[in-house]
């Protein structure tokens, strides 16, 4: 089985690649080759099968077609410009989030056999704010450009699935925490920051109040959902290829309580509250909770507790983050 990860240099792309290399199989089938594609050349890793690491523009149809060879059976489309960056630069968001998805669709359409495509959509494609609890048939009505671009991508891939060009599953990812490395340009970057920075011994600011709630998941859960989406029977999905996976709703206060439980009061004391109007404006429209009955029915695993989520970051990524940031 040939597999391609678009966005293979991103943190979720790297985690997914390491998992595929470790397992050597996807579902019950042996992986015979893996391509990692991103704007910068993804870092190579030891692999039991041929591994290609390619750099290119995801909006360039020729580059994407080269990253998805004719015998590809599974494409993980993780490449994206994140929320605040897409809001700040509308043209960049369109180029990567919309035209990149179009390029991926066209490359998949040209294959001899329709591949499975796992697309990372987002909870940002919904609105409703803090009082919303989104059901599986909730309407996508984005309040930001990133969410709109993701919703468009879902519709394109849904229609391509209907026409038999490919076989898509769109995972509407919750806010993924704790992200390793450095803060990024996502409006939700603070969600990881209020855990990661204190664990690094660094003071950080939270731009939203303690009672602000977020729909979250761990990197471990996200990777498990990708793998399940790549191998599940999609026949019961019918026309609707969008999945609201079973994340967890948590307020900032609950996250900080969990941080104190795992790492002590001193870690929690490193977080201060400094309102940011621009960030608040973006995240205020995001719903704080979902009712993911459909995902559970189709076998998507539930998100672990917040304490377990923090411990998994300490186990998986804390030391590497310290090295990356030059922290002893």
d(CA 119, CA 128): 23
Helix pair angle (189-199, 306-316), 10° resolution: 60
**Looking at residue 238, what is its pLDDT?**
95
- 50: closest CA among 8, 14, 4, 118? 4
Which pLDDT does position 321 carry in this prediction? 96
Q: What is the pLDDT of residues 59-99, one digit of tens each?
A: 999 999 999 999 999 999 999 998 888 989 999 999 999 99
The low-confidence residues of the chain, meaning pLDDT below 70, are none
Phi and psi at 54, nearest 5°, equal -120, 145
Residue 289 backbone phi and psi in degrees, to 5 = -155, 155
Phi-psi map region of 238: left, alpha, beta (phi>0 left; psi -120 to 50 alpha): left
Question: Which residues are bridge partners to 5 per DSSP?
Answer: 36, 76
- Output phi, psi for 70, to 5 deg: -60, -30
pTM confidence score: 0.95
Do the beta carbons of residue 119 and residue 168 sit within 8 Å? yes
pLDDT of residue 205: 96
Domains and CATH numbers, the chain: 2-126+134-176+218-243 (3.40.50.720)
For the stretch 222-243, pLDDT in tens is: 999 999 999 999 999 999 999 9
Q: How much is the pLDDT for 24?
A: 97
Give the pLDDT of residue 285: 87
Q: For residue 85, what pLDDT is reported?
A: 87
Structure tokens at 5: 């990860």
Q: Which residues are marked as active site? A: 146
């Amino acid at each position: 089985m040939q597999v391609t990860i678009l966005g293979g240099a991103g943190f979720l792309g790297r985690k997914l690649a390491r998992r595929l290399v470790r397992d050597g199989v996807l579902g019950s089938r042996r992986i015979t080759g893996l391509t990692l594609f991103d704007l910068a050349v993804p870092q190579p890793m030891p692999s039991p099968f041929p591994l290609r690491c390619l750099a290119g523009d995801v909006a360039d149809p020729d580059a994407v077609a080269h990253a998805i060879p004719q015998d590809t059976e599974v494409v993980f489309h993780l490449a994206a410009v994140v929320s605040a960056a897409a809001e700040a630069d509308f043209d960049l968001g369109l180029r990567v989030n919309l035209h990149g998805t179009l390029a991926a669709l066209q490359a998949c359409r040209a294959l001899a056999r329709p591949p499975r495509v796992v697309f990372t959509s987002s909870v940002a494609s919904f609105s409703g704010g803090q009082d919303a609890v989104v059901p599986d048939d909730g309407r996508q009505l984005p309040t930001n450009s990133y969410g709109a671009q993701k919703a468009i991508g879902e519709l394109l891939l849904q229609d391509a699935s209907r026409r038999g060009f490919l076989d898509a599953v769109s995972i509407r990812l919750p806010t993924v925490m704790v992200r390793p490395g450095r803060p990024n340009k996502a409006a939700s970057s603070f969600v990881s920051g209020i855990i990661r920075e204190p664990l690094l011994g660094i003071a950080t600011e939270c731009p939203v109040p303690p009672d602000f709630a977020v729909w979250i998941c761990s990197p471990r859960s996200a990777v498990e959902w990708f793998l399940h989406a790549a191998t599940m029977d999609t026949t019961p999905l019918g026309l609707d290829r969008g999945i609201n996976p079973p994340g967890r709703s948590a307020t900032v206060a609950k996250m900080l309580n969990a941080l104190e439980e795992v790492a002590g009061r001193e870690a929690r004391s490193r977080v201060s509250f400094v309102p940011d109007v621009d960030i608040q404006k973006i995240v205020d429209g995001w719903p704080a909770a979902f009712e993911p009955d459909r995902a559970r029915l189709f076998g998507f695993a539930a998100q672990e507790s917040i304490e377990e989520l923090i411990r998994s970051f300490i186990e998986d990524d804390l030391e590497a983050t310290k090295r990356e940031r030059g922290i002893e």
